[in-house]
Every structure is written in structure tokens, then in C-alpha cells.
A = this chain, B = another copy of it.
Amino acid sequence: MLEFAILGLLHESPMHGYELRKQLTAKLGAFRAAISYGSLYPTLRRLQSAGLIAEGGEPATRATNEEVPLLSGRRGRVVYKITAEGKERFQELLGSAGPETYDSEAGFGVHFAFFASTDRATRLRILEGRRRRVEERREGMREFLSRAAERLDAYTLELQRHGLEACEREVRWLEELIAHERSGKDPKITSQPSSDLPRRSPLKE
């Protein structure tokens, strides 16, 4: 999960940990809260020893040569870049769509965040899988509400009602996205100038 997200970001441009966390938090902010350093740094370590990323990249925004901000003393900032194996792994993850993709908000959110680099078939599989899960959840709540409503206190009832509504809204949202994908006006390519990697760009408009 974090692995996927980190590879995705480093695929766009080299970065150090702090920046990585900010971008992660911004990009995935819609579906999960802030990423903790307690998960970020160990994951970086794991990825590094797996050979998927490496130290020593030049951060993208190195306009002039600024002396490498005087990290004279001890801990300097460590810039990570993705390796060839890392890119391979990222492509592999882009095409995957297991249960972990649908189940957690986080898993789905990460995949969605990289939809611009995902092929249409996979996008559809993921959207439909997610819809299925949310529908199941919704049905569970509906049944619970209809069977036990009178035995519940007002707050539990309200919580349930609110959850149900959220599910219904998400299903509607997913439905729109799915319809859009299907009736497939295709990704018009508006080239993305952001990085050294050409970024695939999304659908119409």
C-alpha cells in the first residue's frame, strides 16, 4: 500500500522523506489521514533493501546549484529515486486488482490516485470491485436498520443512517465513474510537463 504509493511518487520524480510524506498526504488525503513517519521510513528501508529504490537521486527542483543546502554536519537529507526494478514493480502493481484494492479506503484511494497511469480495463475492474464492496456494506446496514431499528437508541440509529447515506453516495459516485469509463470517450492526451517521465493523462476535458 505504502509501497505502491511511494513507488508511484518516486516514479514521477526523486524526493526525500519529508517531501514524500507531504505529497503522500496531499495526494491520498481524500481517503486516508496523514502518513506516519513510523511507517514511511521503515517502508523506504524495505524498498531500498529490495532494490526497488536507491539513495542519491537529484531532486527535481534543483534549478541552480545551491551547494546542497549546507548539510555540513551530521544527518543530511537523503534523496531517494526509483530503480529499474522499482519501475517494473510499479507497473505490476498498476495492473493488479486484488481484494486489498477494494476493501480498504486506503487501498482503493492509492489505486485511484494513479488511475492516470492505469489502463482502462484495470480501471474498470477496480471501480466495479469497489462498487461491489460498498454495495455489500450498504446492504448489511440496510438490513441491520430494518431489522433492529426499534431496539436501537437515537444515536446509534443516527450513526447508522449517516453511514448508509455515505455508502449510497459513494455507490452513485462510482456508478458515474464507471459509466464514464465505459462510454469511453478516451483519454485525450494532454501532455503532462511535470516530470522526466511522460505522464499518461486522463479522459476527456
Q: List A residues at the B interface (Cβ < 8 Å).
A: 26-27, 29-31, 33, 103-104, 109, 112-113, 115-116, 137, 140-141, 144, 148, 150-156, 158-160, 162-164, 166, 169, 173, 177, 186-190, 192, 194, 199, 201-203, 205
Contact = CB atoms under 8 A, between A and B. Distances in A.
The oligomer's copy count stands at: 2
Contacts of A159: 30-31, 109, 112-113
Binding site secondary structure of chain A: helix
Contacts of A202: 153-155
A163 to B, nearest CB: 3
Contact of A103 (B33, B109, B150, B156): B33
Given A109-B159, A113-B159, A205 B154 contact: yes
B150 A30 contact: no
Contacts of A113: 155-156, 159
A21 B109 CA distance: 26
A140 B33 contact: no
B155 A29 contact: no
A104 B103 CA distance: 17
22 contacts: A26-B144, A29-B163, A30-B141, A30-B160, A30-B164, A33-B137, A109-B159, A112-B159, A113-B156, A115-B153, A116-B154, A116-B155, A153-B192, A153-B202, A154-B187, A154-B189, A154-B202, A154-B203, A154-B205, A155-B187, A155-B202, A166-B166
A187 B190 CA distance: 53
A30 B144 CA distance: 11
Given A173-B162, A187-B158, A116 B153 contact: yes
Given A151-B194, A153-B190, A154-B202, 6 more contacts: A26-B144, A30-B141, A30-B162, A154-B186, A154-B187, A158-B187
Contact of A27 (B33, B154, B156, B173): B156
Contacts of A154: 116, 186-190, 201-203, 205
